[in-house]
Amino acid sequence: MLEYSTTEYYDNDSYYGYPELCNKSSNLKFRLWFMPTFFSIICFLGLSGNLLVILTFFYFKRLKTMTDVYLLNLAFADLLFALSLPFWGANAMADWKLGLFMCKAMHVIYKVSFYSSMLLLSCISVDRYFAITKALSAYRYRSKATFMSKLSSAIVWFLACIFSAPEIAYTTVSNDTCSSYSNSSYQLRVNIQTGQIMLGFVLPFLVMIFCYSTIVQTLCQGRSFERNRAIKVIFVVVAVFLFCQVPYNLVLFLSTLDVAWGGSKDCAYDNGLLFATDVTQCVAFLRCCLNPFVYAFIGVKFRKDLLRLLMDCGCVSPKLFSQLSNGRRKSLAPTDTETTTTFSP
């Protein structure tokens, strides 16, 4: 999360030569209603969607492929982040009263879930790359796929914890606000934010672009309904990733430059950057509630299992379940299989 100080600075070029405070009260008022509102919406959707993913996996014991394992870990990462959002909302609305430990825990949970989500999205891309473009090799090693996915998932969580170590060291409670790097040097903030951009955006983006562009080239060699639908899914996956991550990382990049140059003396620019930070940050947070729909619910088998789970819980009638399942089956090509990731990337 991009942090900034809400204190006001002096503009030395003010009228009559007297220093003038840069007023940031409009941004503070904006945060008081905007961030808690969006945090509440994202928290509710994130908890609902990811809990459904986790319950479906455990109810039907469906950890049969590498992508199944990655999707389950992705749901846990997004659920973990969604659970921390009420604390972020409280920090934006009032003074922090929960102490230094909870302050550090809130930041660490965010960074661990953030890095693990980005790395897991990369793992899903690589898995789909081998499953589609290297089908024979993937089939040959299918017996070891589950073990390899569990091992790689453990490595992902370990790396996420390592990447989040600075949050433990540099998160503090300053002026009754829980923030990270507020008392740190400019160079340290530049280094950490640059690392976040590279590891949390550039690396996953390059992996996804390479894997999915190669997958599209492979699929274009065939002619089928399945191919067309798979390509559409890939475009949706990439579009959602870009929509959520590009605006926030651009603002984070501008903020990093601003810190590297010693801070801006333009009050309008500084306030604009703060507004952009709040808005793009909330857009980036949408990933925790969009991931279940993009990566899990789009799978034919997974969606059918979800309907069956809702029917067993009494939320969906057997008649409606039959109509939805049969209607979906008729709309698919005869080659459609019952695997989780037939169409999901």
In a domain, 294, yes or no: yes
Cβ-count burial of 223 within 10 angstroms (0-12 exposed, 13-18 middle, 19+ buried)? exposed
Q: What is the pLDDT of residues 292-332, one digit of tens each?
A: 888 766 767 777 777 787 787 777 677 776 766 665 444 44
In a domain, 199, yes or no: yes
In a domain, 107, yes or no: yes
Output the domain CATH number for residue 281.
Answer: 1.20.1070.10
In a domain, 338, yes or no: no
Q: What is the pLDDT of residues 39-95, one digit of tens each?
A: 889 999 999 889 988 888 888 777 777 888 898 999 999 999 999 888 888 787 777
Q: State phi, psi for 174 to the nearest 5 degrees.
A: -125, 130
Measured CA to CA, the distance from residue 103 to residue 161 in angstroms comes to 17
- pLDDT above 70: percentage of residues in the chain: 79
User: Which residue range forms the structural domain that includes residue 168?
Assistant: 10-331
Measured CA to CA, the distance from residue 196 to residue 232 in angstroms comes to 30
In a domain, 339, yes or no: no
Say how many domains are in the chain.
Answer: 1
CA dist 249 → 33, 242, 288 (Å): 23, 10, 17
Measured CA to CA, the distance from residue 324 to residue 167 in angstroms comes to 46
Q: What is the pLDDT of residues 237-288, one digit of tens each?
A: 888 888 999 999 999 998 888 877 776 677 888 888 888 988 998 899 898 8
pTM value is 0.82
In a domain, 77, yes or no: yes
Measured CA to CA, the distance from residue 75 to residue 206 in angstroms comes to 22
Measured CA to CA, the distance from residue 281 to residue 245 in angstroms comes to 9
